[in-house]
Amino acid sequence: MYSNNGKYASFLSDKYTRDDNTGYYLSSKLFNGKRKRLHIAVWEYFNGDIPMGYQIHHKDFNKNNNEISNLELKTVHDHLSLHAKLHTKEHVMEFHKKGIEAAKKWHASSDGSQWHKKRYDQMKDKLHQKIKRICPVCGNGFETTRTHENAFCSNNCRSAYRRRSGVDNEKRTCIICGNEFTTNKYSKAKTCSPKCYTKSRLQTMQNKKYKKAQ
C-alpha cells in the first residue's frame, strides 16, 4: 500500500516525489488543482476529510515517515506551537542545511535520542494535559489529550462527518426509473427517491404473491 525510497514514494496507485524545499512528498497528479501531500492523503484514506482548523502532524517530526501510525490530528494553533517549542531556530536551520538524509541519521543517533528525551521531559505534562473540545458534528463538549487529540467526541460522530463529506459516495442507477443518483457506497439503496422506493416495494410484494399462487 505504501513504499518510500527517500526521494520517491507511492501510496495505493498514486506516485509522490519529495520536495527538496519543504521535505514533503507531493503527488504527481493534481487534486482539485493542487498537488496533494502524501501524509494528508494517508490520513484522509484512513480517517476521511480533515476538519477545518486542523492539520496533520508527524509524531516523530520525520516527513519521510508517512505511516498512519506516525500521523495525528492537531489544531493549527497547537501544531504550530508544538513545532515552535520543540524546534529551535538553529535546529531548523541545521535540518535545511544538512538535508533530510542527515536528519534521519541524527534522529537515530545517541545525540538525537537524548535531544528527543530532553524535549519530551520538558513538554510531557503539557502534551498529556486534558483539553476541552467541541465536536463539529453534534456540538457536544468533550475532553481529549494533546498527544491523542480527537476532533470528534465519538466514533459515531466521526462516521457521520465522513458520510457528510461524501468521501465514500458513488453513482448508481435507479432500478425503477433508470436515473442516476448518488449514495454512500455502504448503503443498500437501489432507488433514487421515496417514490421509486415505494414502487420497488410494491413490485417485490407482487412478485411474492405471484410465486405463491403458482
Q: Distance between CA atoms of 191 and 197, rounded to whole angstroms? A: 6
Task: Return per-residue pLDDT of the chain as tens, 214 residues.
Answer: 556 777 898 888 889 999 999 899 999 888 778 899 999 999 988 898 899 989 999 998 899 999 989 999 999 988 888 877 776 655 656 556 656 676 677 767 787 778 777 776 776 666 667 788 889 889 999 888 765 667 888 989 988 888 888 888 999 999 999 999 999 998 999 999 999 999 999 998 988 876 776 6
Distance linking the first and last C-alpha atoms of the chain:
53
**Distance, C-alpha 167 to centroid of its chain:** 11
- The CATH number of the domain where 28 resides is what? 3.90.75
The C-alpha atoms of residue 119 and residue 113 are separated, in whole angstroms, by 10
Q: Is 115 left (phi over 0), alpha (psi -120 to 50) or beta?
A: alpha
**All 3 cell numbers of residue 143?**
475532553
The rounded distance, in Å, linking the Cα atoms of 160 and 164 is 6
Predicted structure pTM score: 0.41
Question: Can you tell me the distance from the alpha carbon of 51 to that of 154, in angstroms, rounded to the nearest whole number?
Answer: 15
Q: Are residues 39 and 52 in the same domain?
A: yes
Residues 182 and 109 in one domain: no
What nine digits make up the cell of 110? 545517541
Q: How many domains does the chain fold into?
A: 3
20 and 88 part of one domain: yes
pLDDT recorded at residue 208: 82
Does one domain contain both 112 and 191? no
Is there a single domain that holds both residue 26 and residue 108? yes
Residue 197 lies in domain: 174-213
The C-alpha cell at 6 is 527517500
Q: Are 87 and 114 in a shared domain?
A: yes
Instruction: Please check whether residues 99 and 23 belong to one and the same domain.
Output: yes
- Whether 118 and 137 map to the same domain: the answer is no
- Say yes or no: 193 and 110 in one domain: no
- Regarding whether 135 and 108 lie in a shared domain, the answer is no
Residues 6+ apart with CB under 8 A from 26: 16, 17, 18, 19, 35, 36, 37, 38
* List of residues 6+ apart from 15 with CB closer than 8 A: 8, 9, 27, 28
Do 113 and 26 share a domain, yes or no?
A: yes
